[in-house]
Structure 1
Amino acid sequence: MQKRLAATDLTKKIESKKTYKKQLKLYQQRLLSLQQLLFKEKIALILVMEGWDAAGKGGAIKRSTEKLDPRGLQVHPISAPAPHELRYHYLQRFWRKIPQHGQIAIFDRSWYGRVLVERIEGFASSGEWKRAYEEINQFEKQLSDDHYIISKFWIHISKDEQERRFLERKHNPLKRWKLTDEDWRNREKWDLYEEAAEEMFHKTDKEWAPWHIIAGNDKRYARVAVIQQIVADIESNLIQKGIGLPDYSQFE
């Protein structure tokens, strides 16, 4: 099995703040044009954001969405299921959040918790999480066969970089709320989570719902890389459907 995390080049970075802002603005404008086209064509977009604690998922989501029309966008921060949700199949709470055709939904963590935290922490039995790979593949295939585009992201950082960010949060009163005891406990299980993530990529990276591993040690690089890939995935899907792309020349 290919080790995708180990193969990720975490030295990638955008040195210049000017270059970063120029690239970010360019792809934000392109994504806005594509949002309008998706609405017109009644095609929905589902974005899954996963990654290590403190990897920068929230920052990437913020930069990817800040120029979009909020009326066509929902961001779903996913935490542990509520007690009443445990009385249903684990995918039920996600089906309820699937966007309408023409809308965009971003899942800040997702149904992949079944094969990550629920696997590692023992909240799902071995039989439950092992069969979840195929359940998730079928779930995503049903959506992609309808009017949905699905793109999945794992923002990857080194263990040393995670520790640096944890300590920064610990000593910053405005960021301290982001750091919990659970974050430190999860860090102690880094190798187990890495193994689970690699198996997840291997078994659920599909043509209709691809995984993109984003180097996240440099936040600027990660934010631009995420939005570039979102744009590329939408464009590829529209081309396959025979739908013409927007005219980006006004943004060049």
Structure 2
Amino acid sequence: MRSGAFMTKHHPPNLADTDLTQRLAKREYFDQLAELQAKLAQIQQAFLFHELKGVIVFEGWDAAGKGGTIRRISQALDPRSFKVWPIGAPRNYYLNRHYLLRFWERLPPSGAISAFDRSWYGRVLVERIEKLTPEKRWRAAYQEINDFERMLVDDGTRIVKLFFHISPDEQMRRFTERLTNPLKRWKLTYEDFRNREKWGDAEIAVDEMLARTSTKKAPWHVIPANNKKYARIKAMSAVVDALSKDVDLNPQHLDRQTLDAADKALDVDQSLIDSLRARTE
């Protein structure tokens, strides 16, 4: 498929259209959280059985709630086939190679789901904003990223891309909370304040990223994140919808050999064994 075809008939989101006033009540949050976590467990089992692959990309402002959402997703999944990759500055080995290499190496095998806490989009965000990469190279990255994601989708990988958006005032409130809470203080760094000084440049970079890399097969979801509960549910809903689409989430069938062994070894109602045999046959 040509890259142009990959980009057609899709209207990318932007920051200005995001309603940051969205909120969710505590009771409703916990009800929806339990439902979504149960669905994620079903999805993981289906991915293992059908040998599917999933990638979840987390981007967003500092203190926007990416980590909290990743924790709620991780709670629902077996770590044997779910991996979180925290992405920081590349070490020298990767600095001397194409920037996509370290992401190729971390893509999930069949049956697994990988979450990237920051991602290959650093090329058109932090590397652009901090002038770590020549303009010619980061501009070329839009097409490189679209081609990269197209190849993943064509190979059977499902991609969910989330950008957590908060207001500058809300970010400052969360920085204050991190400073005053000893258990959260480790999250606050000098870089957080440096990055705030370039908020305007970052907004421009984010909106161009959304416009250039939100495609029909790999769209961006901008998550209104001023309210953490709302953001978690919104993000997890996007993950569940994307990973479960057209996937049979019913429990997998046991093979005949396993059922024969269970029939001999386990003291269970014979009707259960018979019903499972019927599904297998």
**TM-score, normalised on structure 1?**
0.93
How many residues are matched? 241
Cα shift at 1:141? 0.6
Where do 1:14-33 residues align within 5 Å? 14-15=24-25, 17-33=26-42
1:7 maps to amino acid:
D
8 Å CA contact 1:170, 1:179 repeated in 2: yes
The corresponding residue for 2:79 is 70
Give 1:69 deviation, angstroms: 1.0
Deviation for aligned residue 1:67: 1.3
Partner of 1:246: 250
| TM-superposed deviation, 1:41 | 1.0
TM-superposed deviation, 1:19: 1.4
1:13 aligns with 2:23: yes
Is this contact kept in 1: 2:54–2:158, CA < 8 A? Answer: yes
Is the 1:101–1:147 contact (alpha carbons within 8 Å) kept by the matching residues of 2?
Answer: no
Which of 190, 195, 211 in structure 2 is aligned with 1:202? 211
Other-structure match for 1:48: 57
Counterpart residue identity of residue 124, structure 2: V
In 1, the alpha carbon distance for the partners of 2:133 and 2:50 equals: 39
Q: Residues 5, 85 of structure 1: CA spacing in aligned structure 2 closer, same or farther, 3 A cutoff?
A: same
Which string of whole-angstrom CA distances, capped at 9 and with x for unpartnered residues, describes residues 61-119 of structure 1?
11122111111010000000001211110001111101101101000000000000000
How far residue 2 of structure 1 moved from its aligned partner, in angstroms, is: 7.2
State the 1:154 CA deviation: 0.3
Q: Is 2:131 aligned against 1:122?
A: yes
- From 81, 91, 94, the equivalent of 2:103 is 94
2:84 and 2:116 in contact (8 A); partners too: yes
Q: Distance in 2 between matches of 1:64 and 1:213?
A: 18
> Which amino acid in structure 1 is aligned with residue 67 of structure 2?
G
**In structure 2, what is the equivalent of residue 182 of structure 1?**
191
Give the number of the structure whose alpha-carbon radius of gyration is greater.
Answer: 2
Q: Deviation digits for residues 116-169 of structure 1, max 9, x if unmatched?
A: 000010111001100000000001110100120001000110110000001111
- Picking from 150, 159, 176, the partner of 1:150 is 159
Distance 2:38 2:103 in 1: 29
Please give the per-residue CA displacement for 1:194-215, whole angstroms capped at 9, x wherever unaligned.
Answer: 1000000001001221100011
Match of 1:228 among 198, 212, 237: 237
Distance (whole Å) between structure 2 residues aligned to residue 29 and residue 90 of structure 1? 36
CA deviation after TM superposition for structure 1 residue 245, in Å:
3.9
CA distance in 2: counterparts of 1:67 and 1:96, whole angstroms: 25
In structure 1, C-alpha distance between the alignment counterparts of 2:235 and 2:48, rounded to whole Å: 21
Contact map agreement 2:52 2:156 (CA 8 A) in 1:
yes
- Cα distance in 2 between the residues matched to 1:91 and 1:119: 16
Q: Secondary structure at the match of 2:17?
A: coil
Partners of 2:71 and 2:214 lie apart in 1 by: 25
Structure 1 29/3 Cα, relative in aligned 2: closer, same or farther at 3 Å?
Answer: closer
- CA deviations on 1:213-248 (whole Å, 9 max, x unpaired) are 011000001111111111111222xx2xxx43438x
Percentage of matched positions with identical amino acids: 49
**Structure 1 spans left out of the alignment, 5+ residues:** 248-252
Aligned to 2:121: 112
Q: Is the 8 A contact 1:34 1:246 kept in 2?
A: no
Whole-angstrom CA distance in 2 between matches of 1:133 and 1:12: 31
Q: Give 1:3 shift.
A: 6.8
Aligned amino acid, residue 20 of structure 2: L
